[in-house]
Amino acid sequence: MEQSQFLANTLVIGPSPEGNRQRILRIGHRGAAGHAPENTIAAIRRSVSLGVDFVEFDVQRTRDGRLVVMHDTLVDRTTDGTGMVSETTWDELQLLDAGNWEKVPCVEEALAAANGHVGAILEAKIPGIGPAIHRVVRASAFSGPVIYASFLHAEILEIRKIDPLARTMALMECVPVSGAALARDAQRSLAYHFIAQPPSSSPRSMMPASRYFCIPSTTLG
């Protein structure tokens, strides 16, 4: 029951081993938010144990330039600290409790935890970090499929300039009038992304996963 509840809210259309062009891919949102403190190594490991195909996590940059895994621009909601990620150093972040004594991981640590088990979806949360995320992924020798995602479409366009074969995902709060035209004109893979807001009573860093994706099979190629 626990696993089915976690996976039921994620729908992806992709190629099927049976030749049918539609199948369900299981994506762990912020690692396994709702089962472990979001965007932590524990959440990624929990996601793997639940049998997901991809683990999704959010990326920001610290004051001293380290790419770290965190959704909010403020550390307040998911840690016992206060302040903006961009005004906090890596060493200062490591002093914070991200839930159940977990630390805020860097992108390299998150990729290492997922490597050999699942694919990775990295969402750029702030402007100007798309190429840096791509460099870290390439340097990590991550062996699974990677999708670069963002609501900030300029970030994934910059990645495509560096690596035309990169799998990218444009995230949107609503469905465009012509999704195909949007994807074609922006030279990126198309995805529809809807967010169901969690109840306000959800405990800190334990928000339920509620994301819906539709990805063309070519992005999984």
**Tokens 């809807």 sit on residue:** 194
Q: Considering 29, 35, 134, 193, which one is annotated as catalytic? A: 29
Mapping DSSP to helix (H, G, I), strand (E, B) and coil, where does residue 5 land? helix
- Distance (Å, rounded) from C-alpha 184 to C-alpha 174? 18
- Distance (Å, rounded) from C-alpha 57 to C-alpha 149? 10
Is 35 designated active site? no
**Tokens 């199948």 sit on residue:** 23
Neighbours of 87 (CB within 10 A): 12
Q: Are 59 and 43 in contact (CB under 8 A)?
A: no
Residue type, 208: P
Q: Are 28 and 51 in contact (CB under 8 A)?
A: no
**Tokens 């959010």 sit on residue:** 58
| Interstrand relation of 211-214 and 192-195 (parallel, antiparallel or unpaired) | antiparallel
Is 71 designated active site? yes
Q: Considering 35, 71, 134, 193, which one is annotated as catalytic? A: 71
Q: Are 16 and 23 in contact (CB under 8 A)?
A: yes
Active site residues: 29, 71
